[in-house]
Amino acid sequence: MAYYHSKYGLPTKGRSRFRRFLFRLLFILILLVIISGYFVYQVINGPNVWTPEGKAVSIYVPTGANFGQLKDILYGRGLVIHRKNFEWWAQKRKLPELIKPGRYILVNDMTNNQLVDMLRAGKQVPVNVTFNNVRDIYQLAGKVGRQIEADSASIVNYLNDSSNLVKAGIGSIPVSTLFIPNTYRFYWNTTAKEFVDRVVKEYRRFWNKSRREKAHAAGLTPTQVVILASIVEKETNKNDEKPRIASVYINRLHEGWRLQADPTVIYALGNPKIHRVLNVQKKIDSPYNTYRHRGLPPGPICIPSISSIDAVLNYDKPHFLYFCAKSDMSGYHVFSETNRMHQKNAQKYQKALDEMRIYR
């Protein structure tokens, strides 16, 4: 016997089955939504970056790189676990149109969302750029070019174009005296122009009022201080002795003497391996040979450290006019006011060189 609903005239039993069907269908749909939502959540927020031994890894995305090149960088090092998932989310977030160059740090278990957001927003990490112990701008450009995207050739070409230096407001400053060796933070995708602009900024910051006043008190310009500091730099690596060596050369300048600095002869000869300057070598015809020419050489013989520059600015006041390396080969020097005492010290050192069979 069929039972009818009093209002709609539907069988009560049939209506009950229809309701159960709707509930089951709704349950299945909700379950599918939950499962698909969970899947999408995992694609977006689940770990999808692997790094060797769980350590942070740096990647470098060059200027003008496209999405294919970016994938080559990531996949070539096996950093992305599920590539299709990464590519799907990257497309959703329009990463292919928003790639920005730079150095990026990837950490183990990063999610697709974190990775994509970092790359599309250009959240790069600066690099520490260090330059010291360099002879000239060519060696400097070589060192810097290995640490930022701009290569050594582009840096040298930019520096050798005088119009660039005039625009930067440093046209009257010799290029080789512009650099203050230190460690600086740069973005990896720094251009040659951006590098030089930063160098100019650091130069002006370094030569503050106090340093300029000390240079003036010594009778020197900032450029002359750097030139003299380059000689001091090559005379010794003992920072505690640099102010005294600087004082000898400043005293000679004030007396109108030739500096007679061996490092300038070595520079003029172009052979940094020379350990013992011979009398015949002191006759080389070069404006850098301070045995032949009075005053400072026309430019620095290296790019001196801050310690050497400050040693010149804070030179010792005793009136020493001579110094000679100690015969104990400690790297220190013995100082004297008279040539007679200097010759005795020099003979001891030369004897020590002979005993060690160092003849050049």
Q: What CA–CA distance (Å, rounded) separates 74 from 347?
A: 64
pLDDT of residue 355: 75
Quote the pLDDT of residue 28: 65
pLDDT at 25: 63
* pLDDT for position 21: 67
Q: How far apart are CA 92 and CA 131, in angstroms?
A: 43
| Dist CA 360 CA 340 (whole Å) | 25
Instruction: In whole angstroms, give the CA distance from residue 156 to residue 158.
Output: 5
What are φ and ψ of residue 110, in 5° steps? Answer: -60, 150
pLDDT value, residue 350 = 83
Whole-angstrom Cα distance, residue 42 to residue 60?
27
Fold of 52-121: Dna Ligase; domain 1 (3.30.1490)
Q: Which two tokens stand for residue 264?
A: 């300038």
pLDDT of residue 15: 65
Gap between the terminal Cα atoms of the chain: 124
Q: How far apart (Å, rounded) are the C-alpha atoms in residues 338 and 247?
A: 15
- Each residue's pLDDT, cut to its tens digit, for the chain (360 residues) gives 454 555 555 566 666 776 776 666 665 676 566 555 545 556 677 899 999 999 999 999 999 999 999 999 999 999 999 999 999 999 999 999 999 999 999 999 999 999 999 999 999 999 999 988 888 999 999 999 999 999 999 999 999 998 988 888 887 788 989 999 999 999 999 999 999 999 999 999 999 999 999 999 999 999 999 999 999 999 999 999 999 999 999 999 999 999 999 999 999 999 888 887 888 999 999 999 999 999 999 999 999 999 999 999 999 988 899 998 888 888 899 899 988 888 887 788 788 777 777 656
Identify the residue whose tokens are 């010759």: 343
What is the distance between the alpha carbons of residues 22 and 16, in angstroms, rounded to a whole number? 10
Q: What is the pTM of this model?
A: 0.81
